[in-house]
Amino acid sequence: MSWVKSSDIMDVLKNKLGIDDTWFVLGNVWDKESGIEGLKISGYRKGVIYIETTSSPANSELAIHKKEIIKKVNQYFGEERIKNIKSEIT
């Protein structure tokens, strides 16, 4: 029996689940750069971050600061990878 590298397994899983490096960077920088409590990333797809919140005020604050947050997060990528943020009150 031969061994498989864990990095090879992770690559297969990321491809199957549609997760790229963007997802991991978002997980690390979201709280710091959004600065808004009560927001949780629920997904990312094709340049759009999907957010869930239970707070109407947090949702309103996100709407006010959305462009600024997108700009800050994109600085981590060195390109305009994030195009929009969509939120839902749950």
Whichever domain contains 27, its CATH number is: 3.30.300
What pLDDT, on a 0 to 100 scale, did the predictor assign at position 18?
65
Sheet holding 48-53, edge to edge: 39-45, 48-53, 84-89
d(CA 85, CA 81): 12
What pLDDT, on a 0 to 100 scale, did the predictor assign at position 86?
96
SS3 state of residue 80: coil
Quote the domain boundaries for residue 30. 19-89
**Is 9 domain-assigned?**
no
**Is 7 domain-assigned?**
no
SS3 state of residue 71: helix
Per-residue pLDDT of the chain (90 residues; tens, 9 = 90+): 788 888 888 788 777 776 777 877 888 899 889 989 999 999 888 899 999 999 999 999 999 999 999 999 999 989 999 999 999 999
Counted domains in the chain:
1
What pTM value is reported for the model? Answer: 0.78
What pLDDT, on a 0 to 100 scale, did the predictor assign at position 59?
95
